[in-house]
Amino acid sequence: MPHWTKKFFIKEGDRWLFLMNQHWKYAPKQVRQIVTILKGLGIKKGKILELACGNGRICTNLAKRGFVVTGVDISPAYIKDAIIKAKKHKVKVNYLCGDIRYIDRYVHEKFDVILSIFTSIGFYGKKTDERIFKQSAKLLRKKGIFMILNTMSREWLLSHFCPSLYDDAGHYIILHKPEYDKFHSIMHERWLFYRKEGKDFKFEAELPINLKIYSQNELVEMVEKVGLKFVKAYDTLATLEPARHDSRINMVFQKV
């Protein structure tokens, strides 16, 4: 059976593309905060790699800031759209269509920064994420920075869990039906898409997600095991206040 990511990001990928486009309005501020973090670490320019870059909202805005940017994503449609948007914004970004589980097959240069943002880990399980971290560490220059931002943590999930919720996403209403397996720390979720038709809703699709959720200390242990040193954790990317016991994962590591 194909992995759930194939259906969510490729076969039915236009639905997620629609949602990603809505998040473009937040990207300039998010990138300003990322740049602030990097400046605090002495990085004002250099080469950045984004894992699972989607249609490029972070990559494009980093390129506007003068960084040399590479973005990798599994979806051909997202990469195609990212290239179009980069041209529209008059910046150059090196976009590659590829599976981040095998990032070393697509990327062979060294980077000053590698970025994972918006819960782009946990798709394939702990062993695979450890391999992604290991490959990423090899692609970093000495003193290079690895950032995992705006990613769900187990602590945040347990304090905010809701068994049913919805998003009003323009012409879509999306119902979320999550079930949390506390013994394996996996979120099994169904997204039900309903298209608005006047005052009515028409069901269009049901997409599954099965996401491994890490605690803050578990993720630190995983990343440090591949030779990256924990530097700092933030509560949110918006405020850059210190992380709390129930924060999302907004962590910075450095290659030693």
Tell me the pLDDT of the chain averaged across its residues: 96
Residues 174, 192: contact at Cβ < 8 Å? Answer: yes
Closest CA to 241 of 28, 37, 23: 37
pLDDT band at 199 (very low <50, low <70, confident <90, very high): confident
Please state the domain extents for the chain: 4-151+214-255, 156-212
pLDDT of the residue at 196: 92
Q: How many beta carbons lie within 10 A of that of residue 191, not counting itself?
A: 20
Q: What is the pLDDT of residues 212-228, one digit of tens each?
A: 999 999 999 999 999 99
Is the pLDDT confidence value at 81 over 90? yes
pLDDT, one tens digit per residue, over 134-173 is 999 999 999 999 999 999 999 999 999 998 999 888 888 9
- Structure token digits, residue 210: 């099965």
Report pLDDT for 149.
Answer: 98
- Side chain identity at 75, as an amino acid letter? S
Exposed e or buried b per residue across 160-187, where buried means at least 16 C-beta atoms within 10 angstroms of its C-beta: eeeeeeeeeeeebebbeebebeeeebbb
- Under DSSP, the state recorded for 171 is T
Which pLDDT belongs to residue 221? 98
Is the pLDDT score of 195 beyond 90? yes
CATH code for the structural domain at 4-151+214-255: 3.40.50.150
Question: Measuring CA to CA, how many Å separate 242 from each of 109, 175, 230?
Answer: 33, 32, 14
Give one DSSP letter per residue of 184-202, joined into a string: TTEEEEEEEEEEEETTEEE
Q: How far is CA 69 from CA 60, 96, 98, in A?
A: 8, 11, 16
pLDDT above 70: percentage of residues in the chain: 100
Instruction: Give the model confidence (pLDDT) of 29-60 as tens digits.
Output: 999 999 999 999 999 999 999 999 999 999 99
Distance (Å, whole) CA 42 – CA 201:
51
- Spatial separation of the C-alpha atoms in residues 117 and 73, rounded to whole Å: 12
